[in-house]
A = this chain, B = another copy of it.
Amino acid sequence: MAGQAQYEELARQLSAVGAVKRDLGRILPQDCSAGSAAVLALLGSHGDMRMSNLSELLAVDMSVTSRHAAHLADRGWIERSPDPADKRSRILHLTPEGHAMLVELSRRSAGLLAERLEDWTDAEVGQLIGLLTRLRASFGDCRTVAHRPPPPPSPRPPAPAVPAVPAGERTQTTRTPAQAT
């Protein structure tokens, strides 16, 4: 248990992370916004998945995911195949072009980070990654990830038709409560 002052300071530092994220956003290629990049990264690291699953991973409403997915599909970076198990669903997967874009995105962001954090040790970077991962887990993503082993760049698993997550548990998010008229 930490003190009030410490939590306030943490809140400030979290809000300041925005500056770092904006910096990272400035090196993105035309046509590929931060939102698109996030989707590509998740598809790359977690493999094919449904819209709803992706929404949970991003922790945003599905309407947002739908927009991003449409943008990526328009550019040929992902495909949205019908889910044979549920005709309402769509399975997203990277195309070769999408994978190439992801490689380029990774190269750029890793490059910038390597430049900025040149005086950080490997252990320090690892520590920050660990704490951020745990922070996210503490914020309700019991369902997110962090449970799976670090995904190898090997051929991805054959797209689990079932979301890797209980999908209950959550208070709201990922779904606009349908209003009863």
Contacts and interface: CB of A to CB of B under 8 A. Distances in A.
Contacts of A41: 8, 11-12, 15
Given A8-B109, A11-B110, A12-B41, A17 B17 contact: yes
Contact of A17 (B114, B125, B135): B135
Contact of A124 (B23, B117, B124, B131): B131
Count the copies.
2
Nearest to A125: B2
A132 B59 CA distance: 22
A9 B129 contact: yes
Contact of A131 (B34, B37, B114, B131): B131
A133 B120 CA distance: 13
Interface stretch (A71-79, A83-91, A136-144): A136-144
Interface in A35-80: 37-38, 41, 45, 58-60
A128 B54 CA distance: 27
A136 B13 contact: yes
A2 B126 contact: yes
A11 B24 contact: yes
Nearest to A124: B131
A21 B18 contact: yes
A11 B109 contact: yes
21 contacts: A2-B117, A2-B126, A6-B122, A7-B109, A7-B113, A7-B125, A8-B106, A10-B125, A10-B132, A11-B24, A13-B129, A14-B20, A15-B34, A15-B37, A15-B38, A20-B135, A22-B59, A22-B60, A117-B135, A119-B138, A131-B131
